[in-house]
Structure 1
Amino acid sequence: MKKRSEADRLITTIVVVVTMGALAFGYDTGVIAGALPFMQLPIAEGGLGLTPLTEGLVTSALVLGAAFGSLVCGIMADRFGRRDSLMALSVVFVIGAIGTAQAPSVTVMVVMRAILGFAVGGASALVPMFISEMAPSGRRGRLVSQNEMMIVTGQLVAYTLNAGLAHFSQSPSIWRTMLMIAAVPAILLGVGLFFVPRSPRWLASKGRTEEAQHVLELIRSTDRQVRQEMRAIYTAVDDDAEQIGWRQAFGETWIKRLLLIGVSLGFTAQFTGVNAFMYFTPIILRQTGLGTEAALIATIGDGLVAVGATFAGIWMIGKFPRRVTLLSGLCGAVLAHIGLGATLLFLKGTAIESYMALGFILLALLFIQMMVSPLYWLLMSELFPMRVRGVLTGLSVSCQWIFNATVAFLFPILLHAIGPNTFFVFALINVVSFCFVARFLPETKGLSLEKLETHLQTHLSPSI
């Protein structure tokens, strides 16, 4: 009993420390919503003189950097380990936070946002991967979903601080303080990782089996669990040893199909429009007549709904199949986009337009953050085999960030060009995503990572 409590405490500590990377990820993606209105001011008035084009560049620079970061860090994680790669990223987080806060021009801001994005992308690939390799199979879903909880918590913290700083500060340069705060979770991540062990699966893949067993003895509650898990890891490592390298692994049809599914899930997650709302809710609401301060306060609702929805999503992950949950979330997103588009189209200029628009934004976030986003990050930690987990996770998450950047760059332009019809486009895309998930996504619930690998290989290999 004593060993169980000690193992549970260590697992909890590991999850809390590692998800500081997710908290930094969430804050850095959320803070831009509050900073943009001030950055639109002329340079002489404390802003950067952003136009709709440069606004899209500043916003999308982070996600383009994240696409590169997730790819590079996925490869680094296979070579240097999950923990040590996260340590390096904590330093990049701090550099990016300071650089964006001190940026004197749009050019410098775009460069520093890209550097910050590298860290965000790396964390997005490594944090769920690391947790999934440390967690017992029965708790993997809920523990990995803490990643999404910390992302939305970071966004809520960003929205709350944005509104508070905008209300109480009279300085038009307050956006610099908003951006500087991002260094805090990065420092906590870097310091905390010194007290976290390395992944036992990565250690075993490098032939360091004694160290792997020692880590398992620390994070598992019984000797029987340690023996069973070590046997499964030994078997997986022996099977992987037959592969000359990850390039050869790509010759296997089932792995190519897994990669295609991983990339497509990134498209599905981003084209729900979740980050169009998380980045641009103030911009949407200002078009309905709300002032800047009121719009910033309204974004706190985005964060509160996201956090509450993620709590519910973590519960659902333990109760329902992955496919059912994801398909239900996509249905809800379609209905919310249609409602938002209709509100902006048919209620324009009415007294209730702002309230109805905010209501449909929150409804969309409720479905997405409860049933889509947590499932995406969980699936990224589950789908790929050990021998190429880092590189395949990095490739898939990298593509997800490219889709994120596409949405971030095009959304303000589309909203200006076609107005409310933008949301009908999102609804149509989500119908296509629903069809893809229903047809191609295999169920992953209830299996250890090693058993899941065997299941997926059988499920996705071509029939003879």
Structure 2
Amino acid sequence: MVDTNSNGQASIKLPPLTGGPCRKRLGLISVIASFGGLLFGYDTGVINGALRPMAAELGLEAFTEGVVTSSLVFAAAIGALACGRISDAWGRRKTIILLAILFFVGTLFVTLTPNFAILIVGRVLLGFAVGGASTVVPVFLAELAPFEIRGSLSGRNEVAIVIGQLSAFIVNAILGNVLGHLDGVWRIMFAVCAIPAICLFFGMLRMPESPRWLIEKGHNEEALKVLKMVRPEDRAEAEFAEISQTALEEKKDNQIGLKAVLSNKWLIRILLVGIGLGVAQQFTGINSIMYYGQIVLIESGFEEGAALIANIAPGVIAVIGGLIALTYMDRFDRRKTFIIGYSLTTICHLLIGISSMVLEEGNPLRPWIILFLVVAFVGSMQTFLNVATWVYLSEVFPLHMRGLGTGVSIFFLWIANGFLSLYFPTLVEATGITGTFFLFAGIGVLALIFIITSVPETRGRTLEALEEDVTTGAIYTAHKKVK
């Protein structure tokens, strides 16, 4: 097979991808690394059911509830930015091991906290780990994956995230309804997080480093050895030659890190595309549902205990949507997936706003219709947007700026998430469900315009072929030709 860039330049031939033990090893690596996504999901989802009993025990008010929730999110922004650079310098594998330790320590702080201040320290530690995992794990998987299955392999991390969130919702519902009379029930909800942190730590100790990172750092023998673990031998040698050639050209042209980005208008442009995708994803309001779903359902008309149980439904549909996304991620273009996703989520936002306006409070149909529409929104989001966004951010940046570019994009993603999580309760209080979801719908229209006019296609190309086209701007020319 010959892969060419958009300038028509031929790259090194890659033998076809085949099955066998190497594919099984690659699958095992993806499962272990995706414990980072599972922790990401659990730690962001557990607050959904733990917040109310936590607030009762620690005396939190509306604003301090927002601080507890958003402290993790803002710390995640710093973690995403910092860990992208750390992984570029220190390695993807070592950085993930460090994150596993932070997940465990942060869990101890939150679980054993005597007061609000220590709770915030624990949430910040967990946030740093969550942000780091959101940057490094997708990059690690993308750099290990053959381009033919990069979407489905990298997308496993996003499925692990929603499985983590669903696990949190289920644990919350069980503990909240069985042990809800205990003051410290929320501590047990958080303590469960220690288990996957331990699994991630010990699992990653036995995993290999990213071969692309090893080549960039000059560890060629080790890189080839890793490639032969996860590829047939002829394919491993061909990929090694292609990656080595690209890394050599980068060094020859001094295309390294931040300096290279700022001196190339096309790299600046692709960085802005990454930032825009991250912010657009968050301004759908998806994590407002994942963090405050119980509050939204109570506002819709459910009683507190029923809302806690009903809140499992969005978690279930998120996992189903993620699994569906994995089946087509390597067959459908990223741009088409984004366009379908933002169209569906915007329609759901409009319908939620209209339903909450037309159906008066006290109407027995109101909570169930809004729950159905919330589930439809989460399903659309997970099937067409969440997996695709994380995969896109992990593959679009050149090797020399992959950690930096992914980290900066996800930094802004988390900042957008943080402001929404901080002010969402206030927004609902001020404008109700109607105004809140009409606002999300308006942002969805802007996101569609952005996708159609500015986001280039990345599916079906090796990371090295993409790198050439991104660096020269040819990726935008190819996009225009396709249109």
TM-score, normalised by the number of residues in structure 2: 0.92
Q: Deviations over 1:273-295 (max 9, x none)?
A: 11011111100111233222111
Does 2:102 correspond to 1:89?
Answer: no
Q: Deviations over 1:237-269 (max 9, x none)?
A: 111112163132121111101110010011111
2:199 counterpart (188, 196, 220): 188
Does 2:250 correspond to 1:240?
Answer: yes
Counterpart Cα distance in 2 of 1:14 and 1:204? 19
Does 2:226 correspond to 1:211?
Answer: no
Q: Deviations over 1:92-112 (max 9, x none)?
A: 000111111122222222221
Does 2:457 correspond to 1:443?
Answer: yes
Map of 1:253 onto structure 2: 265
1:64 counterpart (74, 83, 98): 74
Aligned pairs (5 A) from 1:408-447: 408-419=421-432, 420-447=434-461
Does 2:390 correspond to 1:380?
Answer: no
Aligned partner of residue 311 in structure 2, secondary structure? helix
Map of 1:339 onto structure 2: 351
Q: Are 1:253 and 1:462, in contact at CA under 8 Å, matched by a contact in 2? A: no
Q: Are 2:456 and 2:476, in contact at CA under 8 Å, matched by a contact in 1? A: no
Once the two structures are TM-superposed, the CA of residue 394 in structure 1 deviates from its matched residue by 0.8
2:369 counterpart (342, 356, 359): 356
The RMSD of aligned alpha carbons is 1.4
Map of 1:140 onto structure 2: 150
- The code of the aligned residue for 1:278 comes to M
1:14 counterpart (14, 18, 29): 29
Counterpart Cα distance in 2 of 1:16 and 1:381? 17
Aligned pairs (5 A) from 1:82-161: 82-161=92-171
Once the two structures are TM-superposed, the CA of residue 348 in structure 1 deviates from its matched residue by 2.3
Map of 1:365 onto structure 2: 378
Aligned partner of residue 95 in structure 1, secondary structure? helix
Q: Are 2:457 and 2:475, in contact at CA under 8 Å, matched by a contact in 1? A: no
Counterpart Cα distance in 2 of 1:416 and 1:4? 55
1:393 counterpart (396, 403, 406): 406
Counterpart Cα distance in 2 of 1:309 and 1:181? 25
Q: Deviations over 1:328-361 (max 9, x none)?
A: 1101111111111112222122111110111111
Q: Deviations over 1:220-252 (max 9, x none)?
A: 02x221121011111111111121631321211
Q: Which moved more, 1:196-205 or 1:99-108?
A: 99-108
- The code of the aligned residue for 1:351 comes to P
Aligned partner of residue 40 in structure 1, secondary structure? helix
Runs of at least 5 residues in structure 2 that lack an aligned partner in the other structure: 1-17, 478-483
Q: Which moved more, 1:137-146 or 1:283-292?
A: 283-292
Q: Deviations over 1:379-413 (max 9, x none)?
A: 11111000111111111111111011011112111
Map of 1:456 onto structure 2: 470
Aligned pairs (5 A) from 1:217-236: 217-221=228-232, 223-236=233-246
Q: Are 2:258 and 2:401, in contact at CA under 8 Å, matched by a contact in 1? A: no
Q: Are 2:76 and 2:411, in contact at CA under 8 Å, matched by a contact in 1? A: yes
Aligned partner of residue 300 in structure 2, secondary structure? coil
Q: Which moved more, 1:104-113 or 1:386-395?
A: 104-113
Map of 1:77 onto structure 2: 87
Aligned partner of residue 268 in structure 2, secondary structure? helix
Counterpart Cα distance in 2 of 1:280 and 1:274? 10
Runs of at least 5 residues in structure 1 that lack an aligned partner in the other structure: 42-46
Cα 1:458–1:236, aligned 2, differ >3 Å: closer, same or farther? same
Map of 1:311 onto structure 2: 323
Counterpart Cα distance in 1 of 2:165 and 2:258? 38
Once the two structures are TM-superposed, the CA of residue 462 in structure 1 deviates from its matched residue by 9.3
Q: Are 2:150 and 2:330, in contact at CA under 8 Å, matched by a contact in 1? A: no
Map of 1:286 onto structure 2: 298
Map of 1:178 onto structure 2: 189
Q: Are 1:75 and 1:390, in contact at CA under 8 Å, matched by a contact in 2? A: yes
Once the two structures are TM-superposed, the CA of residue 418 in structure 1 deviates from its matched residue by 1.0
Q: How many residues align?
A: 455
Once the two structures are TM-superposed, the CA of residue 461 in structure 1 deviates from its matched residue by 8.2
Q: Deviations over 1:197-224 (max 9, x none)?
A: 1111111001110111111111102x22
- The code of the aligned residue for 2:292 comes to F
Does 2:45 correspond to 1:30?
Answer: yes
Q: Are 2:456 and 2:475, in contact at CA under 8 Å, matched by a contact in 1? A: no
Q: Which moved more, 1:265-274 or 1:165-174?
A: 165-174
Q: Which moved more, 1:95-104 or 1:371-380?
A: 95-104
Aligned pairs (5 A) from 1:35-50: 35-41=50-56, 47-50=57-60
Counterpart Cα distance in 2 of 1:140 and 1:24? 22
- The code of the aligned residue for 2:291 comes to Y
Q: Are 1:254 and 1:460, in contact at CA under 8 Å, matched by a contact in 2? A: no
